[in-house]
Structure 1
């Protein structure tokens, strides 16, 4: 069963320390759209099924990525889509959204997602790989 929109946004807002739900919503929309462009098949469909409908549709219907973005390029792309953001603040936005998405998806599905992404995304999800 998908998490409720209000609950999802409350977690993103708390983790990102956003003043408003609108800020949390914008971060969620941008980060999930960029993430969706990097996932395929059930690894995109299964986490989408656990998200609120608004965010599930964003994850499921992205513009396809022409190439996988490294974590640094993912941060730059996020910053480019959020007015006034820098790469540093974009990393904060990414962490707030992806850690919430990971908590929603669960550890097994999060590991499957990370297998489709370039090296280094584990840190963006708040799931660093053991050394």
Structure 2
């Protein structure tokens, strides 16, 4: 199921409790760019097809990763790319963005995506939780 840009961003903004769409958009761009570096082939293409075009292009043209990042390093990388972020806020950002992407993906595709990622990413694909 394809998600429209407004619906995707509204969901990220709501889950992440961001005061503005701009903050939700910034988090979405960074998290999806990092995720795209970890996915290959048909699963990445299929996930991209279910996202709004802006975010699909980011997922398909990702930041380059020299090696797969475990979930903790993924969060640290997101914190480094999101202005003013800490590891705690970046974990929140990842949960907000990836849980909406998981909704767009559906159960079967999400399971295939998680198989491409190092262990532990399933926790990042859930809604953000207070620390």
Normalising by structure 2, we get a TM-score of: 0.94
Could you tell me how far 1:122 is from its partner in structure 2? 0.4
TM alignment of 1:49-60, pairs within 5 A: 49-60=49-60
> Which of 75-84 and 57-66 deviates more?
57-66
Could you tell me how far 1:43 is from its partner in structure 2? 1.0
Task: Give, in whole Å, the separation in 2 of the partners of 1:15 and 1:48.
Answer: 20
Question: Counterpart in 2 of 1:63?
Answer: 63
Unaligned runs of 5+ in 1: none
Question: Counterpart in 1 of 2:115?
Answer: 115
Task: Give, in whole Å, the separation in 2 of the partners of 1:58 and 1:23.
Answer: 17
RMSD: 1.0
Flag as ranges the 4+ runs of structure 1 deviating above 3 A: none
Is 1:81 paired with 2:95?
no
Task: Give, in whole Å, the separation in 1 of the partners of 2:23 and 2:111.
Answer: 28
